[in-house]
């Protein structure tokens, strides 16, 4: 898993996990496939995390909504509760940098990105583009774990729009103070729910 989660070099880092221990390794192998499928079906994350969570829409590299498993290069449009960014047309955007699977472990690493639906070049997210989130599902013997690992989390103060600078600073401060941990704990609990 070390290769799947970047090193934290600046800003905050978060680790959020949920595990389920199964009766035997056969059951764990089957459940790992279920949880992996849930992870790669980004459009279902809101249902897994609950009504108070953000809404996630998987989009292709051009920002067109799609209903399929996530792929490297795709974007995820995130509608968090609260004010949205002007650059993101009311939402936050990340791009999937990499999807990896090896040794009973699958990871999806995303990074804050520009909004592919407009011409603006600044990052449409409350965190800077140095930040990353790695969504990981792994199986160890008869235990299946889902985790979200945030790295290098700092407010995006480079936005072109002044209101976005203020909004990003406030939302990032809330995320760093624990609001993102609540969101991700709801998601990993939903991913590993039997």
Given a cut of 70, whether residue 2 has pLDDT beyond it is no
As a whole number of angstroms, the distance between CA 128 and CA 117 comes to: 19
Query: pLDDT tens digits for 118-155?
Result: 998 899 999 999 999 999 999 999 999 999 999 999 99
Q: Average pLDDT in the 49-66 region?
A: 96
As a whole number of angstroms, the distance between CA 150 and CA 14 comes to: 5
Say if CB 95 and CB 63 are below 8 A apart: no
Confidence at residue 50, expressed as pLDDT on a 0 to 100 scale = 93
Domain count, the chain: 1
Say if CB 65 and CB 59 are below 8 A apart: yes
Query: pLDDT tens digits for 74-101?
Result: 999 999 988 889 999 999 999 999 999 9
- Percent of the chain having pLDDT more than 70? 99
Predicted confidence band at 53 (pLDDT cuts at 50, 70, 90)? very high
- Percent of the chain having pLDDT more than 90? 83
- Which residues lie below 8 Å from residue 23, measured CB to CB, with a gap of 6+? 142
Least confident of 26-30, 36-40, 109-113, 155-159: 155-159
Predicted confidence band at 30 (pLDDT cuts at 50, 70, 90)? very high
Given a cut of 70, whether residue 1 has pLDDT beyond it is no
- Indicate which CATH number applies to the domain containing 32: 3.30.530.20
pTM reported for the whole predicted model: 0.95
Residue 36: give the domain boundaries: 2-191
Sequence-ordered strand ranges (E) for 54-165? 55-59, 75-79, 92-102, 105-112, 132-140, 143-153
Is residue 163 helix, strand or coil?
helix
């Amino acid at each position: 898993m070390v290769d799947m989660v970047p090193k934290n070099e600046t800003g905050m880092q978060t680790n959020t996990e949920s595990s389920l221990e199964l009766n035997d390794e056969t059951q764990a192998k089957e459940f790992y496939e279920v949880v992996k499928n849930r992870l790669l079906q980004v459009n279902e994350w809101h249902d897994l995390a609950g009504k108070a969570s953000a809404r996630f829409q998987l989009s292709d590299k051009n920002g067109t909504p799609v209903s399929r498993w996530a792929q490297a290069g795709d974007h995820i449009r995130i509608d968090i509760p609260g004010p949205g960014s002007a650059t993101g047309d009311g939402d936050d955007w990340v791009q999937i940098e990499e999807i990896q699977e090896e040794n009973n472990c699958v990871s999806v690493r995303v990074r804050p990105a520009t909004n592919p639906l407009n011409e603006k070049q600044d990052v449409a997210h409350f965190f800077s583009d140095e930040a990353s989130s790695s969504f990981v599902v792994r199986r160890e013997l008869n235990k299946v774990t889902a985790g979200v690992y945030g790295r290098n989390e700092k407010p995006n103060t480079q936005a072109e729009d002044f209101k976005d600078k203020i909004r990003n600073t406030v939302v990032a401060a809330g995320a760093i103070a624990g609001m993102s941990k609540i969101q991700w704990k709801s998601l990993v609990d939903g991913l590993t729910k039997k």
